[in-house]
């Protein structure tokens, strides 16, 4: 039997990460919600096939999907933007993605990774706002700083923003795509892509690794042990608040990238 694609498998109890920031995603695809006080921002709506879980999770936390005003997307892959079209149809929300990854969203290039998942990207949409390095997305009490983080896709972005519980304000950040699967020589060759984007991967990380970040967010649950940490939150302890996690994660990410390059070089020279 062919690999059957079941993005709805792997639900997570939705929860408050801190203050006005929530996790409403699934194991296969992280979705974050920011309550700005003047409408909701969704970061990465996830797969179209599991959007109903995201909207159900929102209801469980007392939010209405109708209050979503902005959908901000880390990069142009199916597991992050696949549900955007349906969510726009439901809410009329504005969509934001980097200008480099906009052709993934509108379907003008077939690089959303849907094919690798044995599915088809049927949910193309025209993004409302095309982001560039240094742009900010503002709504209510929230201002998201967008930084270019190319490599995983040419237009992957990292997001930095403050979150607050009314007493404390903390800095949260997410690198929008660290998977090496779309940076391997094999993948690039298969689609006739150059190594240009991946060559920017480490320099872009170096440009953000020393930012002060209190809460490191993952756009996949494995990046920050989202699920494990969610179970440890108590009134007195929040494992998401850790100002060393961001730098540790990016350091490890660079190491894994260098391992990939080393292996490619060894394979090429037959060592
Ligand atoms: Zn991706």
pLDDT in tens, 100-148: 999 999 999 999 999 989 899 999 999 999 999 999 999 999 999 999 9
In the predicted model, what is the mean pLDDT of the chain? 96
pLDDT exceeds cutoff 70 at 94: yes
Backbone angles phi, psi at 32, to 5 degrees: -115, 150
Q: Give residues with Cβ within 8 angstroms of 67, minimum separation 6.
A: 39, 40, 91
pLDDT value, residue 6: 87
What's the CA-to-centroid distance between 174 and ligand 1, angstroms?
Answer: 14
Residues with CB under 5 A from ligand 1 (ion): 77, 177
Q: Tell me the mean pLDDT in the region 36-61.
A: 97
Rounded to whole angstroms, the Cα distance separating 256 from 253 reads 5
Q: Give residues with Cβ within 8 angstroms of 110, minimum separation 6.
A: 121
Alpha helices in the chain (DSSP H): 51-60, 78-81, 84-91, 102-105, 185-190, 196-199, 201-206, 221-224, 226-230, 245-269
pLDDT value, residue 1: 42
What's the CA-to-centroid distance between 30 and ligand 1, angstroms?
Answer: 12
Domains of the chain and CATH, by start: 15-269 (3.60.15.10)
pLDDT value, residue 51: 97
What's the CA-to-centroid distance between 167 and ligand 1, angstroms?
Answer: 35
What's the CA-to-centroid distance between 29 and ligand 1, angstroms?
Answer: 10
pLDDT in tens, 158-192: 999 999 999 999 999 999 999 999 999 999 999 99
Start-to-end Cα distance in the chain: 36
pLDDT value, residue 4: 64
Range name among 44-48, 64-68, 151-155, 191-195 with the lowest pLDDT average: 191-195
What's the CA-to-centroid distance between 183 and ligand 1, angstroms?
Answer: 10
pLDDT in tens, 237-246: 999 999 999 9
pLDDT exceeds cutoff 80 at 3: no
What's the CA-to-centroid distance between 179 and ligand 1, angstroms?
Answer: 7
Global pTM? 0.96
Confidence class for position 50, pLDDT limits 50, 70, 90: very high
pLDDT value, residue 5: 74
Rounded to whole angstroms, the Cα distance separating 3 from 109 reads 24
What's the CA-to-centroid distance between 113 and ligand 1, angstroms?
Answer: 7
pLDDT in tens, 196-236: 999 999 999 999 999 999 999 999 999 999 999 999 999 99
pLDDT exceeds cutoff 50 at 268: yes
Q: Tell me the mean pLDDT in the region 254-265.
A: 96
Confidence class for position 2, pLDDT limits 50, 70, 90: low
pLDDT value, residue 64: 98
């Amino acid at each position: 039997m062919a690999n059957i694609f079941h993005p709805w498998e792997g639900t997570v109890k939705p929860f408050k990460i801190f203050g006005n920031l929530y996790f409403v995603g699934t194991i296969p695809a992280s979705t974050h919600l920011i309550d700005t006080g003047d409408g909701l921002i969704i970061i990465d709506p996830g797969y179209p096939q599991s959007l109903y879980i995201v909207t159900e999770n929102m209801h469980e936390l007392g939010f209405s999907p109708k209050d979503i005003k902005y959908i901000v997307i880390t990069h142009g892959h199916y597991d992050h933007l696949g549900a955007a079209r349906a969510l726009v149809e439901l809410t009329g929300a504005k969509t934001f993605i980097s200008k480099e990854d906009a052709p993934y969203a509108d379907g003008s290039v077939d690089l959303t990774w849907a094919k690798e998942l044995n599915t088809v990207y049927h949910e193309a949409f025209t993004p409302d706002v095309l982001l560039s390095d240094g742009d900010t997305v503002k709504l209510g009490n929230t201002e998201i700083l967008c930084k270019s983080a190319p490599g995983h896709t040419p237009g992957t972005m990292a997001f930095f923003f403050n979150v607050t519980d009314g007493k404390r304000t903390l800095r949260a950040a997410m690198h929008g795509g660290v998977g090496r699967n779309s940076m391997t020589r094999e993948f690039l060759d298969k689609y006739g892509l150059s190594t240009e984007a991946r060559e920017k991967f480490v320099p872009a990380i170096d440009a953000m690794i020393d930012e002060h970040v209190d809460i490191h967010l993952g756009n996949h649950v494995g990046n920050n042990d989202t699920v494990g940490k969610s179970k440890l939150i108590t009134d007195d302890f929040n494992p998401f608040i850790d100002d060393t996690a961001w730098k540790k994660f990016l350091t490890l990410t660079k190491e894994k990238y260098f391992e990939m390059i080393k292996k490619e070089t060894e394979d090429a020279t037959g060592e």
